[in-house]
Every structure is written in structure tokens, then in C-alpha cells.
């Protein structure tokens, strides 16, 4: 069944996968579920965030997460530290959150300063509170098809496939990029015996040969390579579904900066059956999946309470 927000769109606009509208629809669903959860006598879900330094993009991301918490009725806690915090001190803060029974889930906003080992920090996070889905235990559960917290961006993309009734079974899915945050988990999820899933998956990266030929064969393209307008329109076959994960800041001829994806949107949209814009496509769904994971953590749906 199509979601109400899709029904309301003009038919000529159905080529665009509206991540912002989808996120708003899910936000309303989450608020209803949280209101019922609290009415039944439970504590509201509680998400914490650790922010190190003053990276503008990181600050913006965290503000969006806190705002989302407020809108759906979650509690939120922001822990801010200067960029010169030691790795040892940050690990102590992570352990403190691990032991805090009032915190259901938390994130450590990346990137971290160069003197801090991100892998060591991620490994120290309690998997039960790892709502980013980065811990190896949760990644392994995902790979095995077990209940888990999905990494936020892949999880958000799966929601888009579900909400737009995109048939993925038997389709050739090309994943451009192999990061552990997007590319690798996305490839695993699309290949699994599930819906969405059941695709024939090809992973492409910087060492891949015949990139254009491989991309042109795709029924579904998930671009997460981080290079602005890397994929040209003439690399795509007509009717392809394009999920553009790239968020790249470029300067136009007028001197103003704007965000663009990894796919040349203006040209590609004429060929695609569906395509996500940048911004307003995958981005809002990443935060939404994080919030869905937080509610699962509060309800102990992945790791039941002892």
C-alpha cells in the first residue's frame, strides 16, 4: 500500500524519492508510538550524543538529532568536549554512558580529532546502546540476518525502498563505494533473502575496472563514493533507480556553495524511474533510522533486559 504522502504528490513528481517527506511520515509514526509507550507507564526513550571539537557539519548533524528527539518525545543529552580531549578521557566518557541505565542509546559523532583512534572508541561502545550500528557485534548480526541496529544510512535507504514499493528482488544492484558505514553494509543487505533484498549485487570502488559498463547494467544504483557528480547521465540505463548517498559541497560560478550528490542529478533524472535528490533524499532518512534504532533500544527489542 502506498503511503499517504506519496498519494498526495503530483504524478509528474513521482520520479523523485522524497526523503524529507518520508522522514516526516515516520516521525509522526514514532511520536504516536512513543506517546503510547509513555502512556503505558514507561520512561521516554533517551538518546545521548558525544560531540568533540567544533566541526560545523558535526554540530549541525547533532543539532538535527536533538531537534528530532524533541519532536517525537525522546529525552536527549548532548555531551560536548574540546578538540584536545585525550583518548583516555573520551573512553572514560563512553564507559560512563555504557553504565548509565537512563541512557538507552548514544552516538559518538564522527569524525574525531586525529589523535583519537575512532575504531577504539567504537569498540568501547556497549553494543546494546550502539544505535549507530557500527559495533562489530551489531554488524555481524546484520550480516547473519539477525535482529540488530542497522547502520543508519543503509537502514534509511531500506525504508525508502519499502515506502516507495520499489521491487528489488532479482534486480541487478550496483553499490558504488565500499565503506563500512554505507557501501559494505548496503551490499550485504541488498543481497540477503529479504524484502527489500534478493538482489544480485556488484560492489564497485576505486580499483574497479569497466566502471561505466558495470553502472550502465544496473537496475538499482546506490552511489556512495563521495565525489561530486562522479556518475554521468550517459552511464545510466533508462529506468534505473538511483539512490544518491553523496553529500558534496561545491562552489558554483556565482561563488556560492551548494550541496550536490555523487550523481549528476539534473541530467540523470530524465533517465531514471526514481532518484533521490541531494539534499532532501537519503540524508533525512539517516537521522530517522537512528531514531528508529533508539526506540528499539528503549523497548529492548534487540537485546532483551536480563
- Residue 13 confidence class, pLDDT cut points 50, 70, 90: low
Asked if residue 244 belongs to a domain, the reply is yes
Asked if residue 186 belongs to a domain, the reply is yes
Residues 165-219: tens digit of each pLDDT: 999 999 999 999 999 999 999 999 999 999 999 999 999 998 999 999 999 999 9
Residue 181: closest CA among 218, 240, 138: 138
Which segment of 20-29, 33-42, 47-56, 249-258 scores lowest on mean pLDDT?
249-258
- Residue 10 confidence class, pLDDT cut points 50, 70, 90: very low
What CATH number is given to the structural domain containing 251? 3.40.50.720
Asked if residue 59 belongs to a domain, the reply is yes
Predicted pLDDT at 144: 97
Predicted pLDDT at 12: 44
Please state, in angstroms and rounded to a whole number, the distance separating the CA atoms of residues 78 and 45: 15
Mark whether 158 and 105 lie in a shared domain.
no
Mark whether 263 and 163 lie in a shared domain.
yes
How buried is residue 253: exposed, middle or buried, by Cβ count under 10 Å (0-12/13-18/19+)?
Answer: exposed
Percent of the chain with pLDDT over 90: 86
Mark whether 278 and 197 lie in a shared domain.
yes
Mark whether 163 and 221 lie in a shared domain.
yes
Query: What is the domain range of residue 219?
Result: 152-283
Mark whether 164 and 277 lie in a shared domain.
yes
Asked if residue 4 belongs to a domain, the reply is no
- Residue 251 confidence class, pLDDT cut points 50, 70, 90: confident
Asked if residue 63 belongs to a domain, the reply is yes
Write 52-57 long-range contacts (CB < 8 A, 24+). 52/80, 52/81, 52/82, 52/83, 52/85, 52/90, 52/108, 52/109, 52/112, 52/113, 52/116, 53/81, 53/82, 53/83, 53/112, 53/113, 54/83, 55/111
Residues 115-144: tens digit of each pLDDT: 999 999 999 999 999 999 999 999 999 999
Number of domains present in the structure of the chain: 2
Task: Return the bridge partners of 52, or none.
Answer: 81
Mark whether 119 and 162 lie in a shared domain.
no
The answer to whether 291 and 150 are in contact (CB under 8 A) is no
- For the chain, give the mean pLDDT: 93
- Residue 306 confidence class, pLDDT cut points 50, 70, 90: low
Which segment of 51-60, 146-155, 210-219, 220-229 scores lowest on mean pLDDT?
51-60
Distance from chain centroid for Cα 238: 27
Mark whether 271 and 189 lie in a shared domain.
yes
What CATH number is given to the structural domain containing 65? 3.40.50.10860
Instruction: Give the relative orientation of helices 152-163 and 282-298 as an angle to the nearest 10 degrees.
Output: 100
Predicted pLDDT at 162: 97
Please state, in angstroms and rounded to a whole number, the distance separating the CA atoms of residues 264 and 267: 6
Given a cut of 80, is residue 14 above it in pLDDT?
Answer: no
Asked if residue 251 belongs to a domain, the reply is yes
Predicted pLDDT at 1: 42
The residues annotated with a catalytic role in the active site are 65, 109, 132
Q: Which of 108, 126, 144 is the last residue of a domain?
A: 126
Residue 125: closest CA among 140, 149, 108: 108
Render the burial of 277-298: b for 16+ CB within 10 Å, e for the rest: bbebbbbbbbbbbbbbbbbbbb
Mark whether 83 and 163 lie in a shared domain.
no
Mark whether 271 and 163 lie in a shared domain.
yes
Going across the sheet that includes 105-108, the strands are 75-81, 46-52, 105-108
Report residue 26 as a C-alpha cell. 515516520
Asked if residue 5 belongs to a domain, the reply is no
Mark whether 201 and 275 lie in a shared domain.
yes
Task: Compute CA distances 238 → 191, 199, 219, 249, 273, whole Å.
Answer: 23, 19, 9, 28, 7
Mark whether 114 and 194 lie in a shared domain.
no
The answer to whether 208 and 229 are in contact (CB under 8 A) is no
Report residue 204 as a C-alpha cell. 564497485
Please state, in angstroms and rounded to a whole number, the distance separating the CA atoms of residues 137 and 148: 9
Asked if residue 212 belongs to a domain, the reply is yes
- pTM of structure: 0.92
Where helices occur in the chain by DSSP H, the ranges are 4-7, 19-39, 56-72, 87-99, 118-124, 136-143, 152-163, 183-191, 211-216, 265-268, 282-298
Mark whether 57 and 163 lie in a shared domain.
no
Predicted pLDDT at 81: 97
Amino acid at each position: 500500500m502506498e503511503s499517504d504522502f506519496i498519494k498526495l504528490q503530483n504524478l509528474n513528481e513521482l520520479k523523485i524519492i522524497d526523503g524529507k517527506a518520508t522522514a516526516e511520515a515516520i516521525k509522526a509514526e514514532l511520536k504516536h508510538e512513543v506517546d503510547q509507550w509513555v502512556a503505558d507507564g514507561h520512561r521516554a526513550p533517551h538518546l545521548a550524543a558525544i560531540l568533540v571539537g567544533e566541526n560545523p557539519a558535526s554540530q549541525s548533524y547533532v543539532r538535527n538529532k536533538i531537534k528530532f528527539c524533541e519532536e517525537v518525545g525522546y529525552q536527549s543529552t548532548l555531551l560536548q568536549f574540546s578538540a584536545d580531549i585525550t583518548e583516555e578521557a573520551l573512553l572514560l566518557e563512553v564507559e560512563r554512558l555504557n553504565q548509565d541505565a537512563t541512557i538507552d542509546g548514544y552516538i559518538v559523532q564522527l569524525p574525531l580529532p586525529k589523535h583519537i583512534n575512532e575504531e577504539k572508541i567504537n569498540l568501547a561502545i556497549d553494543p546494546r546502546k550502539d544505535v549507530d550500528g557500527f559495533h562489530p557485534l551489531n554488524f555481524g548480526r546484520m550480516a547473519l540476518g539477525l535482529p540488530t541496529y542497522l547502520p543508519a544510512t543503509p537502514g534509511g535507504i531500506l525504508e525508502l525502498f519499502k515506502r516507495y514499493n520499489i521491487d528489488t528482488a532479482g534486480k541487478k544492484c550496483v553499490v558504488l563505494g565500499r565503506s563500512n558505514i554505507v557501501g559494505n553494509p548496503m551490499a550485504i543487505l541488498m543481497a540477503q533473502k529479504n524484502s527489500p533484498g534478493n538482489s544480485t549485487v556488484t560492489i564497485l570502488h576505486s580499483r574497479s575496472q569497466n566502471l561505466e559498463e558495470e553502472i550502465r547494467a544496473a537496475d538499482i544504483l546506490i552511489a556512495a563514493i563521495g565525489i561530486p557528480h562522479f556518475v554521468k547521465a550517459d552511464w545510466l540505463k533508462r529506468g534505473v533507480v538511483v539512490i544518491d548517498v553523496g553529500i558534496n559541497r561545491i562552489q558554483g560560478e556565482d561563488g556560492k556553495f551548494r550541496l550536490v550528490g555523487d550523481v549528476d542529478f539534473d541530467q540523470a533524472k530524465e533517465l531514471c524511474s526514481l532518484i533521490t535528490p541531494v539534499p532532501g533524499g537519503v540524508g533525512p532518512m539517516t537521522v530517522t533510522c537512528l531514531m528508529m534504532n533508539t526506540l528499539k533500544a528503549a523497548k529492548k527489542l534487540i537485546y532483551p533486559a536480563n
